[in-house]
Structure 1
Amino acid sequence: MSERAVTSPNMTDQGRIPSVLRFSTELIAWIAAPWAVADRSSVVLALVVFVVLIGLPTVFGTVGDKKQVMVAAPGWVTIALVVLLVAAAVWGAWLVWPVWAAILVSVLAAATVIAEIPRWRWLLGT
């Protein structure tokens, strides 16, 4: 009978490439989504979006998936936050950037989701 790992693949060498892809996607989400909101709504709302996109994943985390967790959350919450950031990156890119850039962001987002699958399986087991 196999025992479940105490730490996620995110905390091992296996997690390096997914982490780089995830951080790249997060960085794009932090730029593109507030930009899109500012263009279509208001700068104040764009600041709120920016704070939410950075703040939620900073505050909430799954024990064993990060070195430090401020507020412990189940694995599905961590997955939902990653999905939110990936969606924000793609949405924002398609609204404010040229088509070629939005296509590149979409490809990066797809690669991120595929690379995250082992981590997500681990997170769903918590």
Structure 2
Amino acid sequence: MLERATTSPNLTDRGRIPAVLRVLTELVAWVTLPWGLAHYSIAWSILAVIVLIGAPGVFATPGDKKQVTVAVPGPVTIGFMLLQLAGALWGAILIMPGWAVAIVGVLAMITVIAELPRWRWLLTAPARPATQRPPNTAA
């Protein structure tokens, strides 16, 4: 049986291109969604910044980032990435011309494809590495 890798593909050489694509998508989301929402409500714009930038900066899966403030299981990290992708697309729709929205859509699709190895790893990633789990207290 194959043993599960303790480190995400995100922290290996294989993870460089997906990381660049992820950062580009995140930048689009961080700029366009708060900007687009500001036309409707400053409060929604601020909330978008907190959700898109603050939450993923605080919550992370051990083994996927070098430093983790609050450990969460892998599916939570995938959820944050899906929020980033949706935010990039929604923000683009709110403020960009059609041709730019199409480019953001293609970027999002390529990012998802590039992220699949990381997401497969994250689906089985616990909130804490095995070395940090409390000892079994059952007697």
TM-score normalised by structure 2 residue count? 0.87
Residues 3-25 of structure 1, C-alpha deviation per residue, up to 9 Å, x if partnerless?
Answer: 11110000000000000000000
Q: Which runs of 5+ in 2 are unaligned?
A: 126-139
The sequence identity of aligned pairs, in percent, is 58
Which residue matches 1:46? 45
Computed over aligned residues only, the root mean square deviation of the Cα atoms, in angstroms, reads 0.8
Which residue matches 2:18? 18
Asked if residue 2 in structure 1 is aligned to residue 2 in structure 2, the reply is yes
Asked if residue 106 in structure 1 is aligned to residue 105 in structure 2, the reply is yes
Matching residue's letter, 2:117? P
CA–CA distance in structure 2, aligned partners of residues 6 and 45 of structure 1: 38
- How many equivalent pairs are there? 125
Per-residue deviation, 1:50: 1.1
CA–CA distance in structure 2, aligned partners of residues 5 and 50 of structure 1: 33
Which residue matches 1:72? 71
Matching residue's letter, 1:99? G
CA–CA distance in structure 2, aligned partners of residues 48 and 83 of structure 1: 17
Per-residue deviation, 1:49: 1.1
CA–CA distance in structure 1, aligned partners of residues 47 and 86 of structure 2: 17
From the CA coordinates, give the structure whose radius of gyration is larger: 2
Matching residue's letter, 1:65? D
TM-score normalised by structure 1 residue count? 0.96
Q: Which runs of 5+ in 1 are unaligned?
A: none
Per-residue deviation, 1:45: 2.3
